[in-house]
Structure 1
Amino acid sequence: MSSRPRPIHEPRRDDCPWCGSKRLRTRLRAQDLRHRRPGTFVVDECRDCAHAFQNPRLTPEGLALYDVRDDRRSSRRGLRATARVMLPFPEPESWLDVGTGDAAFPVTAKELFTYTAFDGLDPTPRVERAKAAGRLDEAHLGHLTAPEVLARLRARYDVVSMLRHLEHTRDPREELAAALTVLRPGGHLLLELADPASASAAVLGKWWPAHDQPRHLHLIPLPNLRTELESRGCEIITVDRRTPHTPRDLATAVSRGMNRTRLSRAAPPATTLAAVLDHALAPLLRRTRFSNAYRVIARKSASKRTGGRPIGIPASPP
């Protein structure tokens, strides 16, 4: 007898995975805009803490079915700008880039931190190919929260970077706890996330890049992330809602919108024009509520105790 196929969705939840509140509202409904597979995804938002999350959430089998990958796409200029924010701190001996993919960020950062050993972690074989190509010193295949990974990497790194990574994880809190576990006392955590409070999210709706379903499982407001890090004993060093802005909102929205209509043939020139507008408006937008991302640098407590809850123990019901 053949076994019954496993469900691709978990049961729908009636509370917020971040604060436990039952005061939820539907933020948006969207289809898989990349692969055009059937099905509609719902993103709910907590009325109390503003955390947004996919509900019901895909199971691991569902994530595999939709080929959901943490595909970070940034220009070399943007990656270099991100790496530069760590220059005021002592040059790290070791740096782990989580969700590194093809290791584009470590390769760029190495130009500024020539004496730093850059390792990468990713759940796909791309990380091993990056190591074979000489783009990484060490490659770690898997998830940061896996017990065997944590045991191997515990307290090994001076810097851990997670760039546009937490949005794709099933449990961002557990991911943060794991990142602090592999950091040495006094080490730095470098985070970049899409900003769900961006005005672009309200204007563009389901066409906003960070609303991309089913790839984005969580959208974490800055106040929530800051409070979580502080509860774990971290010191917030810098918060930046300007320079992490990525000028691609209009181009992505136009491309996805037109490719789903009879106007698909006109999509390339329209997308090119939208991309020009994105870059032309970027200096202005990044100074307004239309900035679409934020960056946080946090320092782990220099004591052995990281503070907050033990790994795997959330503040609210899972």
Structure 2
Amino acid sequence: MNAVSREARRLRVAALREAYAKELADGTAVFFAERATTCPWCASPRIRGHLRTTDLFQHKPGHFTLDRCEDCGHLFQNPRLNDRGLAFYYRDFYDGLGEEQLGSLFAGRTASYRARAASVEPHLTGRAEWLDVGTGHGHFCHSAAAVLPEVAFDGLDRSDGAELAEAAGRVRRGHRGSFPELAGSLAGSYDVVSMFHYLEHSTAPQRELEAAHTVLRPGGLLVIDVPDPESRFARLLGRWWLPWLQPQHLHLAPVANMRRRLAETGFTVVAEEHGQAHDAVDLLAAVWIALNAVAPREDLPWLSPPPGLLRRALRTAVLLTGVPLLLAATLADRLTARLCAGRLRLTNAYRLIARREA
């Protein structure tokens, strides 16, 4: 980041600081719903604490707990963020201050997006219309079109990303809004619906699956990628495991739970993939998250006071010291993915491809 960009960011942060201070004046308890006493997946009362952590990404104030159901194994945020909390913790992550950084990250994942499309290709029979739910700025659709030239891609997102994707030509059409609320107007319109790392963000995953059933034509495909809470990395890395992603990830369902729920909703699973859905970043991300937690905070509008010269210098020194660790973690991730991730259950996600029953 050059001097001009740094100064522009400093001014943006300063402009936001007062608004964030007002929003935090009542504390963070106002961002949470009542604590649940039963599992939201199977309604069992046998739940217990699994993980307690903080926001290790934006470093916004607050503590977050993931509970685990002792009957079905479902993990869920408890107490869950309410609408006000979701708005607060998402703000300036994918948009605002975080838009440029996250946009560049998503745009650079072309190979991963094409691999996703290739995994679905054997289950397609020709021309198709595809709706990507949680599309962001449509980067997956743009990359997948090169693999599946006979497929027309549309995108749906709660943010203005879907509209921006349409304007940029990455999707044929961008739908903005809640998927369950828009499903009725899109009923029977698509041959494929994809939800790549989307369901874990949803407050009500079952409603999302029902919306997909509504939108798909008979025989259509639903493609789901979600974090795998049964990954051994989840236990080995503890709170430093990237897919916990608190406070954004509200539900993490074991694959057996998801398969059963799909069957109950009217789908037949035709493929289950773990290695193909794995993103080899667990160790790299854990090292980066830990370094970022140790280093003094950068200038952020929800933190005060702004960092001085000494604090900025200390942050730079900590991050530079960690470069060898980051390089070693990158190499270890790649070797693990190539040699033993699947056998040792170190894959961090799973993919299910399910066909809508007639």
TM-score scaled by length of structure 2: 0.79
SS of the equivalent of 2:200 reads helix
103-112 vs 44-53, greater mean Cα deviation: 103-112
Contact 2:184 2:214 in 1 (8 A): no
| Counterpart code for 1:115 | E
Contact 2:209 2:265 in 1 (8 A): no
Please say if 1:220 is aligned against 2:247.
Answer: no
Task: Tell me the alpha carbon deviations over residues 197-222 of structure 1, each in whole angstroms, 9 at most, x when there is no partner.
Answer: 00000011111111110011010110
Contact 2:267 2:357 in 1 (8 A): yes
User: How far did 1:286 drift?
Assistant: 2.9
Residue 120 (structure 1) aligns with: 155
Where does 1:198-277 land on structure 2 (aligned, <5 Å)?
Answer: 198-262=231-295, 263-277=318-332
87-96 vs 194-203, greater mean Cα deviation: 87-96
Where does 1:103-142 land on structure 2 (aligned, <5 Å)?
Answer: 103-142=138-177
SS of the equivalent of 1:85 reads helix
Q: Work out which of the residue numbers 334, 337, 342 in structure 2 matches 1:279.
A: 334
Residue 109 (structure 2) aligns with: 75
| Counterpart code for 1:179 | A
Residue 14 (structure 1) aligns with: 37
Q: Work out which of the residue numbers 68, 73, 87 in structure 1 matches 2:121.
A: 87
Please say if 1:194 is aligned against 2:215.
Answer: no
User: How far did 1:280 drift?
Assistant: 2.1
Task: Tell me the alpha carbon deviations over residues 104-141 of structure 1, each in whole angstroms, 9 at most, x when there is no partner.
Answer: 11111111221221000011111111110111100001
User: How far did 1:84 drift?
Assistant: 0.7
User: How far did 1:92 drift?
Assistant: 4.0
SS of the equivalent of 2:44 reads coil
Contact 1:242 1:287 in 2 (8 A): no
Distance 1:286 1:106 in 2: 27
Where does 1:106-185 land on structure 2 (aligned, <5 Å)?
Answer: 106-146=141-181, 149-185=182-218
Contact 2:288 2:326 in 1 (8 A): yes
Distance 1:61 1:268 in 2: 37
Residue 308 (structure 1) aligns with: none
SS of the equivalent of 1:87 reads helix
Residue 10 (structure 2) aligns with: none
Count, aligned residues: 297
Contact 1:156 1:184 in 2 (8 A): yes
User: How far did 1:265 drift?
Assistant: 4.0
Residue 4 (structure 2) aligns with: none
Distance 1:272 1:100 in 2: 31
| Counterpart code for 1:184 | R
Contact 1:92 1:159 in 2 (8 A): no
Distance 2:144 2:127 in 1: 12
TM-score scaled by length of structure 1: 0.89
SS of the equivalent of 1:272 reads helix
Q: Which runs of 5+ in 1 are unaligned?
A: 303-318
SS of the equivalent of 1:285 reads coil
Contact 2:66 2:77 in 1 (8 A): yes
Contact 1:83 1:109 in 2 (8 A): yes
65-74 vs 38-47, greater mean Cα deviation: 65-74
| Counterpart code for 1:199 | R
Distance 2:67 2:246 in 1: 13
Residue 314 (structure 1) aligns with: none
Distance 2:220 2:176 in 1: 23
User: How far did 1:266 drift?
Assistant: 2.3
8-17 vs 107-116, greater mean Cα deviation: 107-116
Contact 1:205 1:211 in 2 (8 A): no
User: How far did 1:175 drift?
Assistant: 0.7
Residue 67 (structure 2) aligns with: 44
Contact 1:52 1:218 in 2 (8 A): yes
Distance 2:343 2:167 in 1: 41
Q: What is the root-mean-square deviation in Å for CA atoms of aligned residues?
A: 1.9
Residue 23 (structure 1) aligns with: 46
Distance 2:194 2:121 in 1: 14
Distance 2:126 2:336 in 1: 34
Distance 1:162 1:150 in 2: 14
User: How far did 1:232 drift?
Assistant: 1.8
